[in-house]
Amino acid sequence: MATINFPYLGQPIQPNHNFSNYIPLGGNRYSEYVNGENPYTITKSITHQSDEVARSRLVHVENAMKHAWNGYKTHAFGHDELLPQSKHYQNNWDGMGVTLIDSLDTLWMMDLKNEFWECRDWVKEHLSHDIDKFVSTFETTIRSLGGLLSAYDMSGDEIFLERADDLGSRLLKAFDSPSGIPYGQVNLKSGEASNLPWIGGEVAILAEFGSLQIEFRYLAQATGKTEYAEKAERVFELMKEIELSHGLYPVFVANTKERPFFATNIISFGSFADSIYEYMLKIWLQGGKVENMYREMWDRSVQGMHDHLLLKSTPSGLRYIAGLKPNTAQDKKENTLAYDRSMDHLACFMGGALALGAYTDPKGFDSFRAQRDLQTAKALAYTCYQMYARSKSGLSSDNIKFDRKHENDFRITSDRPYYILRPETVETLYILHHLTKDPIYREWGWEIFQSIECFCRTDAAYGSLADVNLPGDGPEDRMESFFLAETLKYFYLLFNPDNELDLLNKHVFNTEAHPIRTFPDLEKQQNDRRQCTNTQSNC
């Protein structure tokens, strides 16, 4: 039992604090957290002090959002992305105002209501999905459909639901494959759909077709059009029919025949796979924890991860989730697999997901399984924090390689040394703090935020880094919409002691950080709105 009080509380930050001279503090600190243990006592006094420090930091997170939004509004309003160095824009998502749609709920949550309603007017007057181009089924669902649904959920404004219904009806054509596993791209005007040509045109990507269900199920509940949910849920029914005994899913599925089948034996919790595991748990939470098939799939996958993929680095013993790939060694045995000892930054979502699963475990929070999963969640969070802390910028590369001969546990892979303002680690820090109240997650998050302010800020907004060990090169001319939709939102929630989101019962985030209500709470909200309408009261 921990008896030493938490020793790492930071100091309040002044409103005029200058981040430009920030020097990252380096890695290999806080090693007592490496195994996911809880080394310190968190008293009410410490929690109160942490909240006060967090409020002083929150001001700077809000300022960051205002800075990024003002740059977008000035130079790119209504376009897909702001170019933060050249102060121009690009329509790389087919001109559907992706940054605007992706930012709606962040604006609402930060009480930037004037900006929110200005965006609402743009949605009403200018947003059109009648586009004669192929778009990504996955990206358009999580960013645009998810953003519209969350804006509707928060504001109750019907224009968001109308536009979401229009977009959803167009995206639904992607599900019309022979197998029912949706195609990776769809023409929003003609309804023509196909798999992505760059992976051969015959297979679908696990993470993409497995991360549409929260959005389409909510759309079905809000509109009463059950087809949205039926087609999306059928995907998981099909995956359950072909799942492997260890509960882990290869990343490519052939979907052009009547029965789908796995088209590779590569297994990962990073790119191509990550969010299907996230959605197994979150669909169950969304439905009020009664649709047991999804929870059982999640529990089997987590068990498979622990049994087959969870490894420790040398020499520090960092926990990480490896992948499996075909064995290419000269002495390989036929059909054997080898570890892929790398980890994508994308896989850092898993710390938060495991914590959510532990706190809602049907076996009880005190069960061995829940406590194991929570400890793994904390250990992964520490590893992901080290991915940031051990670079010269204090920011994480997109991928690292664990090398048993490397004195620093891991190295940055040469083809992915960049930081593109990704949210997954901050997401995990927020969820773990929300559930455990351990201030360490705020301290780690604050280090990351300071590095972003120091090395990624431009005159107009924020940009990515080409190499996290060359921060002096300055930010690039690219700001993904998810920086406003996810990264800044999770920072806001991490440092806001007064946020009212209930992750265990009332709210669920899609994989683009768009929060929507669970079905029991949505039904209550809908009933309340009907009562207001019937009584013509100003509710």
Answer positive or negative: Cα dihedral of 258, 259, 265, 267: positive
Is the predicted pLDDT of residue 496 greater than 90, yes or no? Answer: yes
Asked if 136 and 512 count as a contact pair (C-beta separation under 8 A), the reply is no
Predicted pLDDT of residue 535: 72
Contacts of 104 (CB under 8 A, 6+ apart): 116, 119, 120, 147, 148, 150, 151, 160
Predicted pLDDT of residue 230: 99
Give the DSSP H or E segment for 57.
helix 44-76
Asked if 528 and 537 count as a contact pair (C-beta separation under 8 A), the reply is no
* pLDDT (mean) for 282-291: 99
Binned at pLDDT 50, 70 and 90, residue 532 comes out as: confident
The dihedral over CA atoms of 290, 294, 297, 298, expressed in degrees to the nearest 10, equals: -90
Number of Cβ within 10 Å of residue 9's Cβ equals: 15
Dist. CA 331–CA 383, nearest whole Å: 32
* pLDDT (mean) for 181-199: 98
Predicted pLDDT of residue 2: 55
Give the DSSP H or E segment for 531.
helix 519-535
Per DSSP, the residues of 390-405 read TSTTS---SEEEE-TT
Angle between helices 113-126 and 146-155 (to 10 degrees): 120
* pLDDT (mean) for 124-144: 98
Three-class SS state of 205? strand
Is the predicted pLDDT of residue 404 greater than 90, yes or no? Answer: no
Structure tokens at 302: 């987590």
End-to-end CA distance of the chain: 49
* pLDDT (mean) for 474-495: 99
Dist. CA 532–CA 6, nearest whole Å: 48
Predicted pLDDT of residue 523: 92
Dist. CA 363–CA 60, nearest whole Å: 41
Mean confidence (pLDDT) of the chain: 96
Binned at pLDDT 50, 70 and 90, residue 406 comes out as: low
What is the percent of the chain where pLDDT is above 90? 92
Dist. CA 141–CA 151, nearest whole Å: 14
Reduced DSSP (H G I as helix, E B as strand, rest coil) percent helix, strand, coil of the chain, to 5: 50, 10, 40
Predicted pLDDT of residue 11: 95
Binned at pLDDT 50, 70 and 90, residue 329 comes out as: low
Predicted pLDDT of residue 224: 98
Dist. CA 228–CA 234, nearest whole Å: 10
Asked if residue 428 belongs to a known ligand binding site, the reply is no
Which range among 19-33, 66-80, 334-348, 361-375 shows the weakest confidence by mean pLDDT? Answer: 334-348
Is the predicted pLDDT of residue 519 greater than 80, yes or no? Answer: yes
Domains of the chain by start residue, with CATH: 34-520 (1.50.10.10)
Dist. CA 465–CA 445, nearest whole Å: 18
* pLDDT (mean) for 214-242: 99
Is the predicted pLDDT of residue 538 greater than 70, yes or no? Answer: no
Per DSSP, the residues of 444-499 read HHHHHHHHHHHHTB-SSSB--BS-TT-GGG---S---THIIIIIHHHHHHHT-TT-
Query: Is the model more confident about 141 or about 5?
Result: 141
DSSP 329: S
Asked if 180 and 251 count as a contact pair (C-beta separation under 8 A), the reply is no
Predicted pLDDT of residue 526: 84
Binned at pLDDT 50, 70 and 90, residue 422 comes out as: very high
The dihedral over CA atoms of 447, 449, 453, 454, expressed in degrees to the nearest 10, equals: 20
Predicted pLDDT of residue 335: 61
Report the catalytic residues: 139, 143, 274, 424
Dist. CA 265–CA 253, nearest whole Å: 10
Helix (H), strand (E), coil (C) string for 330-386: CCCCCCCEEEECEEEHHHHHHHHHHHHHHHCCCCCCCCHHHHHHHHHHHHHHHHHHH
